[in-house]
Chains A and B, each alone.
Chain A
Amino acid sequence: MATQAEHQSTRRDFLFVATGAVGAVGVGAVVWPLINQMNPDASTLALASIEFSLVGIEVGQSVTILWRGLPVFVRNRTPKEIEEAKAVPLSELKDPATDEERTKEGHENWLIMIANCTHLGCIPVGESGEYDGWFCPCHGSVYDTAGRIRKGPAPKNLVLPPYEFISDTLIKIG
């Protein structure tokens, strides 16, 4: 009798598993909002897109602005810096990208990047380091004049935010 019962699943087994499954879904449904409340809230998400005027930023000058709480470098590069960036062969780069890929066509002098080092998020110091770009004081990552990682523990180039030129002097980030 017992052996037969082991091989056949009974109505009781089905109810047992079904109850367990409903219970698991129920627990998940309760736990998820308790975790999800930690995700960025509506007020944080509302700042997702900004417009910024480039008027007044001279050649060789940088400004740092805030987008979604993140600092963003806006740099008007000198012709020398652009030349240096273009002269680098891709084979020398840890995270290969051409200078053209790092800028917008027709606006090659403007380099717009999220200012957090891709290692652990410190803000690199501008116009310093061995490659005339940025040097991160925290763990020694060095970026070149196109914000590409050249040396140190950071794995990636400085991240480009999604942006577009609305006019020659106005950009929209986000």
Chain B
Amino acid sequence: MGAFPMSEHSTYIPGNGVEKWIDERLPIIRFSKEHLMDFPTPKNLNYWWTFGGILAIMLVVQIVTGVILAMHYTPNIAMAFNSVEHIRRDVNGGRIIQATHAVGASMFFAAVYVHIFRGMYFGSYKAPREILWLLGVLIFVLMMATAFMGYVLPWGQMSFWAATVITNIFAAIPIVGNPILELLRGGFAVGNPTLNRFFSLHYLLPFVIAAVVILHIWALHVPGNNNPVGVEVKSDRDTLPFHPYYTMKDLYGIVLFAIPFAWFVFFIPDILGHPDNYIMANSQVTPAHIVPEWYFLPFYAILRAIDFNILFIDSKLGGVIFFAGSIVILFFLPWLDNSKTRSGTFRPMFKWFYWLFVLNFVGLTYLGSAPAEGIYVVLAKICTAYYFIHFLIILPVLSRIETSRPLPTSISESVLGKAH
């Protein structure tokens, strides 16, 4: 039953007088034991599930390195660029701390994409976990806003033009677009007021993310974890306590994840960035080929795929509508896929379309980095169309016509085989 993990399963007995005194006033030790240690977790979670823990660690890494960088950074257009160089060259250990923060953003997004696609394959967005999914998409949106504003802070050419292009998206909104644009920039063009406020907000948003993460985990702990077979927990035999089984498994995943992270930080800290960002911002020259960071490329490809007017909607507004729609549509996923079967493992047709969607997403990533000319323009349109077709046509139709393979009666059965 879904209600099982919700029930009180506290086995905490205060060990001494002090613990008892605390427990009667603020039962924080009891709460931690229940939710961080004893929490009943399906015993069949695979390594894709460790990315939740990896993401929690990444948020901590970014906040810690970010607070340190803010001790040495200057958010002023005359000094910002040099202050980042100062961090990299002069500050004790600054080279590594700055690289950790910059590479950390990429690693954070890599992990969040795995986490999102894991949820999509195993149907983790389905009832009763819709709010859990919605909060997750909200975190993703906040991450994108935070990463974008962070990218502006070094005040290189890519920083400046990313700020110009992305704020300009708001100008596409009819009537109020231009007033909003000037409000965001604090001027008629991106300038010192823009940099200053982006720094302020870049410092604020991670703490908002942390707050939503707490809600995300709360929403996880009401129905409990989904799992690779998508069959709900039915008895104690289906679960293991979170600690030590999953704390150790997550820790192992975190260590493996730290290996490529460290490799980037120590050996090739700049490879995920762009050389143009080592030229100081110049409002009079746009770099010949501007591209966003890799983790924005699929959405960027969608933004520029719309280069034609749609009825009374001009191409610019059209691009923005599709760009925003590609993210907003994720909020509706729990209601677009009505299949009763959660896990893609038991959905013979969904499985194929899922991988096609992944391939299409990778294709959009590639097209986002390609120049906007020739065959790339056509392919970007096809991939953009398919992105929306997947959500709006394929998923609703599949949930009507597809016959799922028989599900195991319980998690234990799927793990141990029929005999048990």
A interface list, Cβ under 8 A from B: 35, 38-41, 44, 64, 66, 68-71, 94, 115-116, 118-125, 136-140, 152-156
Contacts A38-B186, A38-B197, A41-B193 hold; do A123 and B316 have CB atoms under 8 A apart? no
A153 in contact with B316 (CB, 8 Å) = yes
Contact A154-B316, Cβ < 8 Å, known A35-B183, A39-B186, A140-B307: yes
Residues of A within 8 A of B165 (CB): 120-122, 138
Inter-chain contacts of A35 with B (CB < 8 A):
183
* Min CB–CB distance A33 → chain B (angstroms): 13
Cβ B306 vs Cβ A153 within 8 A: yes
| Other-chain contact of A40, B187, B371, B373 (Cβ < 8 Å) | B187
Pick from B216-224, B248-256, B281-289, B356-364 the stretch touching chain A. Answer: B281-289
Q: Are A118 and B316 in contact (CB under 8 A)?
A: yes
Say whether B290 contacts A152, CB under 8 Å.
no
B233-258 residues at the A interface, CB under 8 angstroms: none
Q: 23 A-B pairs, CB-CB below 8 angstroms?
A: A39-B186, A41-B186, A64-B284, A66-B284, A69-B187, A94-B309, A120-B165, A120-B168, A121-B164, A121-B165, A121-B167, A122-B290, A123-B286, A137-B290, A139-B304, A139-B307, A139-B372, A140-B371, A152-B372, A153-B306, A154-B315, A155-B315, A156-B314
Smallest CB separation, A34 vs chain B (Å): 12
Interface residues on B, range: 35 or more
Q: Contact between B286 and A138 (Cβ–Cβ < 8 Å)?
A: yes
Provided the pairs A38-B197, A140-B307, A140-B377 are in contact, do residues A69 and B188 lie with their beta carbons within 8 angstroms?
Answer: yes
Residues of chain B in range 124-183 having any CB-CB distance to chain A below 8 Å: 161, 164-169, 171, 182-183
Decide if B319 is an interface residue (CB 8 Å cutoff).
yes
B120: chain A residues at CB < 8 Å are none
Partner of B188, one of A68, A118, A120: A68
Q: How far is the CA of A154 from the CA of B165 in the complex (A)?
A: 12
